[in-house]
Amino acid sequence: MIGGFDVAAFVAATLAEDLGSGGDITSAAVIPTDARLSAVMASRDDVVIAGLPLAEAFFHALDPDCRVTHLVHDGDRVAAGTPVMRIEGNARALLSAERSALNTVQHLTGIATMTRTYVDAIAGTGAVLLDTRKTLPGLRALEKYATRMGGATNHRLRLDDGVMIKDNHIAVAGGVEPAVRAAKVAGLTGVVVEVDRIDQIAPALAAGADRLLLDNMDVPTLKQAVVLVAGRVPTEASGGVRLDTIRAIAETGVTYISVGRITQSAPAADIGLDFA
C-alpha cells in the first residue's frame, strides 16, 4: 500500500501509545466481553479520502475476525455525509481501536483534501504540484502517500533520494558553480540547485545543473527566469506558495511548483465513527 512503510509496526506502536499498560479500562468496565458493534465511518466534510487501509489495519489488529467494508477508496472525492467504511466486530476491540484509526484517517484525509485544492487551482497550466520534506517526523511516508491521493507528485523522500543544492550548501561551497561542479565530480546525477537571483542561473547551467529550483521569486522574476532557461532544464518554483498565488505562479511556465503547506498546514478532516 505504502512503499517502504512498515504498517504493522506503525499500528502496533500507535495502539501501544493509546492503550498504555492497562488497556481500554472504560470499554472493559462498560461493554460486555461478547458484545458486538456495527458502525459506520463517515465524512462530515467535503473531502478527498486517504488512510482507509490503515484504519482497517487498526481494527484488525485488535479484532482479527472483524469485518471491514470499504465504501469508497483512497483518492476519492466525497461529499459531506458520505459513509466511507463499515465495521462489524467485537465491540470492546473496535472501540479501543477507534481513536487511532480515526486520527490517522482524519490527518491523511486533511492532507489529501488540501492537496487537491492546490492541484485544482493549477489545472490546465501544465505545471506539476510537488510536496516537500516538511512533514511530521516519523510520518513522512504516510503524509507523502496522502499528497499522492490528493493528486500531487512526490518530491524526494529522503536526503539520499535526490540531490538538492540549497542556499547554505552554496554559501559553504563558495558559490553556485563550484557547488554544482563538486556534485558532478562526485558522480551525482539529477542535480537540483536552488537559485534565488537571476544572475545565478547562467553559472548553474554552465556547471551542469539538471534542474533549477527558483526560490522565493515573485511572478515577474519567475517569468524572466523561465525565458532565460528556455527549456534547457526543468524549473521548479518554491517558497511561500499559497492557494491564492499558485495559479499565477503556474502560468509563468515553470515545470513544477513545490508546496510545503500541503503537509505542514492541512487541518484534520472531520470524520466520525457512529453506531449503525
| CATH number for the domain harbouring residue 138 | 3.20.20.70
Q: Which of 77, 133, 134, 223 is catalytic?
A: 134
- Inside any domain, residue 37: yes
In this prediction, residue 176 carries a pLDDT of: 97
**What is the helix (H) or strand (E) element at residue 128, kind and residue range?**
strand 128-130
- Inside any domain, residue 1: no
In this prediction, residue 55 carries a pLDDT of: 98
In this prediction, residue 40 carries a pLDDT of: 98
Claim to verify: residue 102 and residue 177 sit in the same structural domain: no
Pairing of strands 36-43, 83-90: antiparallel
- Inside any domain, residue 125: yes
CB 165 within 8 A of CB 180: yes
Claim to verify: residue 164 and residue 124 sit in the same structural domain: yes
Claim to verify: residue 201 and residue 74 sit in the same structural domain: no
Claim to verify: residue 144 and residue 175 sit in the same structural domain: yes
In this prediction, residue 250 carries a pLDDT of: 98
In this prediction, residue 2 carries a pLDDT of: 76
- Inside any domain, residue 103: yes
Claim to verify: residue 104 and residue 130 sit in the same structural domain: no
Cα 86 to Cα 89: distance, rounded to the nearest angstrom: 10
Contacts of 105 (CB under 8 A, 6+ apart): 41, 49, 50, 51, 52, 54, 55, 269, 271
φ, ψ for residue 164, nearest 5 deg: -135, 110
Total tally of structural domains belonging to the chain: 2
Q: Which of 156, 166, 223, 247 is catalytic?
A: 166
β-partners of residue 37 are 89
Q: Which of 77, 99, 156, 223 is catalytic?
A: 99
- Inside any domain, residue 2: no
194 is catalytic: yes
* Positions in the chain short of pLDDT 50: none
In this prediction, residue 245 carries a pLDDT of: 98
In this prediction, residue 190 carries a pLDDT of: 96
144 is catalytic: no
Claim to verify: residue 185 and residue 62 sit in the same structural domain: no
Claim to verify: residue 92 and residue 140 sit in the same structural domain: no
- Inside any domain, residue 237: yes
In this prediction, residue 1 carries a pLDDT of: 61
184 is catalytic: no
In this prediction, residue 230 carries a pLDDT of: 97
Claim to verify: residue 37 and residue 130 sit in the same structural domain: no
User: Taking the CB of residue 204, how many other CB atoms lie within 10 A of it?
Assistant: 27
Claim to verify: residue 64 and residue 172 sit in the same structural domain: no
Claim to verify: residue 55 and residue 87 sit in the same structural domain: yes
Q: Which of 56, 177, 215, 236 is catalytic?
A: 215
- Inside any domain, residue 254: yes
The residue segments making up the domain with residue 245 are 120-264
Q: What angle do CA 17, 63, 56 make, to 5 degrees?
A: 75
In this prediction, residue 208 carries a pLDDT of: 96
99 is catalytic: yes
34 is catalytic: no
In this prediction, residue 79 carries a pLDDT of: 98
What CA dihedral angle connects 41, 45, 51 and 52, to 10 degrees? 30
Q: Which of 194, 210, 236, 261 is catalytic?
A: 194
Kindly report the pTM of this predicted structure: 0.95
Claim to verify: residue 206 and residue 126 sit in the same structural domain: yes
The residue length of the chain stands at: 276
CATH number at residue 15: 3.90.1170.20
Claim to verify: residue 129 and residue 234 sit in the same structural domain: yes
φ, ψ for residue 9, nearest 5 deg: -70, -40
